[in-house]
Amino acid sequence: MTRAKELEEYTGMSDLVTVILAAGKGTRMKSALPKVLHKAGGKPMVQHVIDAAKEAGAKRNIVVVGFGAELVQKAVGNQAEVVVQAEQLGTGHAVLQAEPLLNNEHGTVMVLCGDTPLLTGALVKKLYDAHRNAGAKATVLTAVMPDATGYGRIIRTPEGTVAKIVEHKDATDEERRVNEVNSGIYCFEKDDLFEALKQVGCDNAQGEYYLPDVLSILREKGEKIWAVAADDYEETLGVNSRVQLAGAEKILRRRKNILLMESGVTIMDPDSTFVDAGVEVGKDTIIYPGTWLEGTTKVGENCVLGPSSRFTDTFIGNNVTAQFTYAHECEIGDGVTMGPYVHLRPNTKISANVKIGNFVEVKNSNIGEGSKLPHLQYIGDCDMGSGVNMGCGTITVNYDGKKKFRTTIGDNAFVGCNSNLVAPVTIGNGAYVGAGSTITKEVPEDQLAVARARQVNIPHWNDKRKE
- Residues labelled as active-site residues: 375
Q: Is residue 85 part of an annotated ligand binding site?
A: yes
Q: Is residue 389 part of an annotated ligand binding site?
A: yes
Q: Is residue 167 part of an annotated ligand binding site?
A: yes
How far apart are alpha carbons 46 and 362 in whole angstroms? 35
How far apart are alpha carbons 296 and 163 in whole angstroms? 46
Q: Is residue 35 part of an annotated ligand binding site?
A: yes
Spell out a b/e string for 80-117, using b for 16 or more CB atoms within 10 Å of the CB, else e: bebbebeeebbbbbbbbbbbeebeebebbbbbbbbbbb
Spell out a b/e string for 168-201, using b for 16 or more CB atoms within 10 Å of the CB, else e: eeebeeeeeebbbbbbbbbbbbbebbbebbeebe
Q: Is residue 429 part of an annotated ligand binding site?
A: no
Q: Is residue 358 part of an annotated ligand binding site?
A: no
Q: Is residue 179 part of an annotated ligand binding site?
A: no
How far apart are alpha carbons 337 and 445 in whole angstroms? 28
Q: Is residue 278 part of an annotated ligand binding site?
A: no
Strands annotated E in 157-285: 162-166, 180-189, 225-229, 266-267, 273-275, 280-281
Q: Which whole-number Å values give the CA distances from 145 to 32, 127, 161, 251, 420, in the listed order?
A: 32, 18, 19, 16, 65
Contact (CB, 8 A) for 130 and 161: no
Q: Is residue 310 part of an annotated ligand binding site?
A: no
Q: Is residue 454 part of an annotated ligand binding site?
A: no
Q: Is residue 5 part of an annotated ligand binding site?
A: no
Q: Is residue 435 part of an annotated ligand binding site?
A: yes
Dmax over CA atoms of the chain, in Å, equals 110
Q: Is residue 43 part of an annotated ligand binding site?
A: no
Q: Is residue 182 part of an annotated ligand binding site?
A: yes
Contact (CB, 8 A) for 205 and 189: no
As annotated, the binding site for acetyl-CoA includes 398-399, 435, 452
As annotated, the binding site for UDP-N-acetyl-alpha-D-glucosamine includes 21-24, 35, 85, 90-91, 152, 167, 182, 240, 345, 363, 378, 389
As annotated, the binding site includes 21-24, 35, 85, 90-91, 115, 152, 167, 182, 240, 345, 363, 378, 389, 398-399, 435, 452
As annotated, the binding site for Mg(2+) includes 115, 240
